[in-house]
A = this chain, B = another copy of it.
Amino acid sequence: MKKGISKEKYNVAILGATGVVGREMIDILEKRQFPIGELRLFASEKSVGEEISFCGKSIKVRLASEKEFQGIDFIMGDTPTEISKKFIPMAVKQGAVAIDCSSAYRMDPKVPLVIPEVNASAMANHEGIIAGPNCSAIPIAVAAKPIDARYGIKRMVIATYQSASGAGKGGMDELADQTRSLFSQQEIIQKVFPHRLAFNVIPQIDSFLPNGMTKEEFKIMEELRKILDSPRLGLAVTAVRVPVFCGHSAAVAIETKEPIDPEEVKKLLQESPGIILKDNLQTKEYPLPAEVAGTDAVYVGRVRRDDSVPNGILLWVVADNLRKGASLNAVQIAEVLIQQHRLD
């Protein structure tokens, strides 16, 4: 697929097809009328045999293996890193382009880490694998990119409000079950999150590093630097899980090199690809995760001056972590690759 393909239809494989991101991918491929020849769906043993409908047909979920990847043009997925590392090289060796939403390859210097609106050009010399960033890094990068291009970002202080679905279907179920149990005075069962999430917030996502950061915080930092091509960008991140089913939010304080003005920033964001500015204080309009879930854009609101630094601005950024934060971004990457080939 790397060189000179310009097909009418593409064979697509989904790894982790029964997971929350996998299911969104299938839905998005259908809704966006992605030019699919054959769609092959893979998942772990316990889901094998399940049937998922796609464009009016029912597709059986199978177990991934080397020979299953023959003839595949694109392989996409958001699986545990060990699954990505096991299967993606098999598919790439057979000519597929992999678009991997896991963290397996994101920081590999040979792998472009891509959000099409932000750095599509980074894909120019890909070697078969393209990574999709962390679901909190994506919306922040989309919102920060035009600001960085115009004003030069020096530092960002970020506090996230990340939904249960960031931990997959198990996370969403755990939030629902815990909530029901609390109301009916049943025992609270807690497996996915390190503490009860229902009616609580948890300042830990993923495990801790020796420096006291969580891996999630570290990923957001290093991925933002890579996506924005700004290796020395100052970043301070606190990643927090909140009892929301879907939609990741972030309070972002941005310090720029050049003088910055909130009204100018609003205009700039409005004109930027992939962003919907929702910022009307009179009508109490600003992005809310419960409203953003199920939509495609990155929503920005609460744009205001931060007087505590010479050039400062505060933003509130929300996106559907399963869609723009993972599945949609992956499909958009594939669309750009096809587009680039067509234009070649």
Contact = CB atoms under 8 A, between A and B. Distances in A.
A104 interface: no
A54 interface: no
A302 interface: yes
Interface in A81-110: none
Contact of A290 (B196, B305, B312, B316): B196
Contacts of A175: 199
A18 interface: no
Interface in A237-274: 238, 240, 242-245, 249, 251, 253, 262
Nearest to A156: B308
A203 interface: yes
B302 A161 contact: no
Given A176-B183, A203-B287, A212-B302, 13 more contacts: A155-B308, A155-B309, A180-B183, A195-B288, A203-B251, A203-B316, A211-B305, A212-B304, A234-B308, A236-B306, A236-B312, A238-B253, A238-B314
A281 B312 CA distance: 33
Nearest to A237: B314
Nearest to A213: B304
Interface of A: 155, 157, 159, 161, 175-176, 179-180, 183, 194-196, 199-204, 208, 211-213, 234-236, 238, 240, 242-245, 249, 251, 253, 262, 281, 284, 286-291, 301-309, 312, 314, 316
Contacts of A253: 157, 236, 238
